[in-house]
Amino acid sequence: MNNIKTYCSSAMILITLFVVSGCGKPGGGASADVQVQPKSSDLSIFKKKPKKVGGTEKASGGGNTEESGTFSGRIVIAGNPKDYGVVVSKGETVPDAAICSANAIPNETLLVGKENGIANVFIYLEEDPRDSDDEKPPTETVSFVNVGCQFKPHALIVRTGQKIHVTNVDPVKHNTSTAPEFNDSINKLLESHDSVGLSLVYEQQEPKPVLVKCTIHSWMKAYHLPLDHPFVALTDKDGKFEIKNLPSGKYKFKIWHESNGFIETRYKVTIQGDVKKTIEVSADKLALSGSSSSKVVYLSLPH
């Protein structure tokens, strides 16, 4: 009887993803509703419980919860960054070369800006430190575009339940493929000039950023971090970040960068009013295994 109850309870849990895929017409396509069942091994995540990364515990927020502060600063590289060059050279023989190698496509793995600031570093709490968790997801839709045989933006923060509108402005087909830990994977084709695109929603938060790729064009990669709270930041082109309205208390932040994963899993910060820090990361800590180049390269994001 217990097994039957468990099966029935599990069967009632459904996630609905509304997906719109192109039909070959420039700027349009037909819509389809796709109903997806959660991974059976992950049904327990629908229960409210502490979420852990690498064995770390929930950040503690003591003190007067009516007070709040801002955690801000910069993340900078100490030492010489590796040269990641380009992912596609101009004129290179690649799929859809007439479009995709009409110009060189830079490697966005490590972007170093003004005064050695590192772009696209995620810094976040694994849990909402507030007692109330009844906050609704933002109503605005986030744009995620295939353009110039690249994903834009390259790194993205999104709230659970918030809609991401995925489109394709290129005159060639692309696909959007993900394999998250706690959300169902997708692999959807986008026709050329598909302005209708598809809607992507992460129903559960993830312990680390999710790799998004195009399997037609293997160099196309991006990262999404879905969380169920707003205490997260993504560094700008000069390594700056800001996390507002933190209740006073002690916190352990995760710091993650695509070049080599977690930079920190327990970066300790005490909030009693505003806190500003400069976090240095050694160049070796950001080096991909197998990279042998020692040339110094500074890539800047456009203003």
Please give the pLDDT value at position 26: 32
pLDDT band at residue 288, thresholds of 50, 70 and 90? low
**Averaged over 91-101, what is the pLDDT?**
98
Structural domains of the chain, with CATH: 19-37+55-286 (2.60.40.420)
Judge whether 207 and 195 are in contact, CB under 8 Å. Answer: no
Instruction: Tell me the pLDDT band of 285, cut-offs 50, 70 and 90.
Output: confident
Print burial letters for 112-148: b (CB count within 10 Å at least 16), e (below 16): bbeebbbbbbbbbbbbbbbeeeeeeeeeeebebbbee
Q: Please report where in the chains the tokens 């993340």 appear, as a residue.
A: 75
The rounded distance, in Å, linking the Cα atoms of 173 and 197 is: 11
How does residue 60 score in pLDDT terms, banded at 50, 70 and 90? very low
What are 104-144's pLDDT values in tens digits? Answer: 999 999 999 999 999 999 999 999 999 876 678 899 999 99
- Percent of the chain scoring above 90 in pLDDT: 66
pLDDT at 100: 98
Q: What is the pLDDT of residues 194-244, one digit of tens each?
A: 999 999 999 999 999 999 999 999 999 999 999 999 999 999 999 999 999
Give the Cα separation of 287 and 85 in Å (integer).
13
Average pLDDT of the chain to the nearest whole number: 80
Residue 6 clears pLDDT 70, i.e. is over it: no
pLDDT in tens, 158-187: 999 999 999 999 999 999 999 999 999 999
Residues 6+ apart with CB under 8 A from 3: none
Phi, psi (deg, nearest 5) at residue 69: -150, 175
